[in-house]
């Protein structure tokens, strides 16, 4: 986890859900088979007027304490899934950095800077996970909030400066992200041993504030889903192919096809 997920909400719905003040998304977001390297929606808090430049000035503020929300703007924007560290020489490294383990993200060179000052929320309807022992014969499951609400997955983002582009090129800054994961517990651990970390609404401002860099405080706002908060059901193997898309990917597998896979215990 997490290698595929679904996001079908309109930007306007997400803006209301996350109290976004600026929507930087130029197109519809509906994608039922989000895969690495795709453009994905994230929620970020930025100082007023900040575009693609670094967050160094923001990170020098209130160390270890709560921020004044009025000094930040909340954006909904698109970034590429697969984090490219700011120091990377080859952007292909991002293809391997779609997830970051919570246990080590604050110390790993690839994620350390982003964990300190560039954190985001990655909205999702839910995510896919595969269960089974044999390669090519694994059953996909869709894991989602039992109440049908939006998942706010904890993420990190980076702004990579493309050395091959001119200073006045509007595309010289490449925004990318990764999803933080933790050990899966209870029933979900039977499907896969890792799962995304979630951020509850009351903790959005703390997690997103680029001026906070106290690792212990930041870890304290991240929680695995409480028992019973998430449901999982088997779906068609159509999701295995990234070219397939559409709401039918979220349909539960009919009982006559599901067989024993509906309960992977």
Catalytic machinery residues: 2, 129
Distances from the Cα of 23 to the Cα of 65, 72, 172, angstroms: 27, 14, 21
DSSP-derived letter for residue 252 is B
Q: What is the DSSP string of 23-92?
A: E---S---EEEE-TTSEEEEEEEE-TT--SS--HHHHTSSTTS---GGG-EEEEEEEEES---TT-S-GG
Per the CB < 8 A criterion, the answer to whether 115 and 142 are in contact is no
Question: How far is the C-alpha of 157 from the C-alpha of 114, rounded, in Å?
Answer: 6
Question: How far is the C-alpha of 83 from the C-alpha of 242, rounded, in Å?
Answer: 20
C-alpha Rg value of the chain to the nearest Å: 18
Question: How far is the C-alpha of 256 from the C-alpha of 55, rounded, in Å?
Answer: 53
């Amino acid at each position: 986890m997490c290698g595929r997920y679904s996001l079908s909400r309109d930007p306007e719905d997400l803006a209301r859900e996350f109290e976004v003040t600026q929507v930087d998304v130029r197109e519809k977001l509906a994608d039922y088979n989000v895969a690495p390297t795709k453009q994905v929606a994230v929620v970020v808090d930025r100082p007023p007027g900040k575009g693609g430049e670094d967050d160094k000035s923001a990170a020098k503020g209130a160390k270890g304490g709560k921020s004044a929300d009025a000094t930040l703007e909340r954006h909904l924007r698109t970034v590429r899934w697969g984090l490219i560290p700011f120091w990377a020489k080859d952007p292909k490294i991002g293809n391997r950095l779609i997830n970051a383990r919570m246990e080590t993200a604050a110390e790993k060179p690839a994620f350390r800077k982003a964990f300190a000052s560039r954190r985001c929320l990655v909205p999702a309807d839910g995510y896919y996970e595969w269960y089974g022992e044999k390669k090519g014969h694994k059953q996909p499951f869709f894991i989602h909030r039992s109440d049908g609400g939006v998942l706010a997955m904890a993420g990190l983002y980076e702004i990579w400066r493309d050395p091959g582009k001119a200073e006045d090129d509007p595309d010289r800054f490449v925004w990318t992200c990764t999803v933080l994961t933790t050990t899966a517990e209870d029933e979900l651990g039977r499907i896969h041993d890792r799962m995304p970390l979630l951020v509850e609404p009351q903790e959005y401002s703390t997690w997103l504030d680029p001026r906070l860099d106290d690792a212990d405080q930041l870890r304290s706002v991240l929680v695995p889903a409480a028992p019973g908060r998430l449901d999982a059901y088997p779906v068609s193997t159509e999701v295995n192919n990234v070219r397939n898309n559409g709401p039918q990917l979220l349909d539960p597998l009919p009982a006559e096809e599901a067989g024993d896979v509906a309960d992977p215990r």
